[in-house]
Amino acid sequence: MGKSHIVYGIHAVLEAIRSGKELERIILKKEFSGPALGEILKYCREHQVPYQLVPPVRLDKITSKNHQGVIAFFSEISYQPIEQIVPQLFEEGQTPFFLVLDHITDVRNFGSIARTAECAGVHALIVPEKGSALINADAIKTSSGALHTINVCRVPSLVNTLKFLKDSGIMLYAASEKGTHLYTEVDFSKPTAVVIGSEGRGIS
């Protein structure tokens, strides 16, 4: 992500938070302390924005400017709440179709999946708050712009979200090389969510 998509420094980051800017993630130096820390962490919890405490050298590699121990990354897209999308689709008489990406970390893979998902009529991609690919310019380019049109939902817990989907009457399927059924045998005319595992460890 280019430097035009970051904001650094305590006051600048707090201003971005207070003005309602949507942030992708925030990184802070491990020794970061003071009144601003509480406000930043509260924002992260309330808006499901991941944050990391890292050595100062990590921040120095991102910008040589005086970052004061905190850098925030702006979101390239607006995330949507899955709790609103599900009932909205049912109210509109549509059959929900979701793709759950279980810790897909490669940016270009993520973009390619988004492009295919949009063509397949997927209503939303569901990704975990932590351990997922950053949706940056590379992801959007690889998606051929699909990430600007398909809904993306960032959730704190995939387990809880899958339970919510199941309780909402949505059938859950997992893509696996060990599966006993072909995807062509699935009845996609019913509310459906398909889980795809990560490049390295598969479905967690």
Q: What is the pLDDT of residues 122-168, one digit of tens each?
A: 999 999 988 888 888 788 899 998 999 999 999 989 999 999 999 99
- Where does the pLDDT of residue 4 fall: very low under 50, low under 70, confident under 90, or very high at 90 and above? very low
Same domain, 128 and 176: yes
| Domain-ending residue, one of 39, 74, 109 | 74
Domain count across the chain: 2
Q: What is the pLDDT of residues 171-180, one digit of tens each?
A: 999 987 777 7
Same domain, 33 and 117: no
Which tokens belong to 15?
């201003």
Same domain, 70 and 88: no
**Cα 93 to the center of its chain, rounded Å:** 27
* pLDDT at res. 68: 95
pTM recorded for the entire structure: 0.77
Q: Could you give the CA distance from residue 90 to residue 85 in angstroms, rounded to a whole number? A: 9
Which tokens belong to 117?
């998902």
Q: Decide if 136 is inside a domain.
A: yes
| Domain-ending residue, one of 45, 74, 103 | 74
- Domain of 41, CATH number, reads 3.30.1330.30
Q: What is the pLDDT of residues 85-120, one digit of tens each?
A: 999 999 999 999 999 999 898 999 999 999 999 999
In sequence order, the β-bridge partners of residue 52 are 27
* pLDDT at res. 204: 64
Q: Could you give the CA distance from residue 27 to residue 94 in angstroms, rounded to a whole number? A: 39
Handedness of CA 174, 175, 176, 181 (dihedral sign): positive
| Domain-ending residue, one of 26, 54, 74 | 74
Residue 3 has pLDDT above 50, yes or no: no
Q: Decide if 201 is inside a domain.
A: no
Residues spanned by the domain of 56:
3-74
Residue 55 has pLDDT above 50, yes or no: yes
